[in-house]
Structure 1
Amino acid sequence: MNRKVSRQLLIRLVICENTIHTQHEPQEKLNDTCVHVTQASLSRDMKELYLAKVNDNGTPYYVILSVSLSHWENRLRLYMEAALVMLQVVQNHIILKTLPGLAQSFGSFLASIEIAELVGTVCGVDTCLIICEDHEKA
């Protein structure tokens, strides 16, 4: 998993487990876990994660907006049409070959749409290994 994906996962956890009022708060919590992030990167991450500030009785805080699954499915479909070179099922794994430099993006997209059958992904430069529970689910 690349640093950005890992960092965004941590940001999601921080938002889910804490009431966060400012962008400075998740930055401090990430720093506490030895994940250093600039304010600009954190701001971009929060936008990509669809975080929004809501106001509850005069107290603003961040929440994760739910994005419809079809939004991610459409983005993945367009992305796959442009960048997918090969897809093959091998036992309980799916091997995706992509154009150079795009495999980690595929893994990130797949993690974003939270497919129940998907256990995890391991991505390199042009190959993404998708691990499923069993052959049928792959």
Structure 2
Amino acid sequence: MGIKNSRLEALKMIISSMEMGSQEEVLRALEREGFKLTQATLSRDLKQLKVAKAASMNGKYVYVLPNETMYKRVSTPRSAMEMLQVSGFLSINFSGNMGVIKTRPGYASSIAYNIDNSDNPYILGTIAGDDTIFIVIKQGVREEDVIDALRNAIPNIA
């Protein structure tokens, strides 16, 4: 994973797990994770991720990721690097040419993105929610072949 991609993943984890109201707060959090960048670079990253500000439960305006204005924040967040070390994958089940992947909350879209960009010859596409991914599999493909092919996108798949 390149430096920019690592930084963007760390930024997503930070915004998802902590209430940050200013770019200065976000810059300090990224610095604690080992990323030293300018306010201008942060601003471009926030724009690329389509980060917005929304009112939190206490009325304070904080950064949120798209479609996550009601994201469940944890009371004692781990560092972004710790979160990046842990895969969000929980399980996969099949029915015909469909599959459902269960993930930890907040992980489905990034795992689905990895699946969609892995050039998997057996999967036609994905739809991701917060903790669930729906996959459509080509007709006649064995479940074992799908799981083997998913290992590139989901390293700890069974």
TM-score, structure 1 as length reference: 0.50
Where is the strand percentage greater, Structure 1 or Structure 2?
A: 1
TM-score, structure 2 as length reference: 0.44
Where is the helix percentage greater, Structure 1 or Structure 2?
A: 1
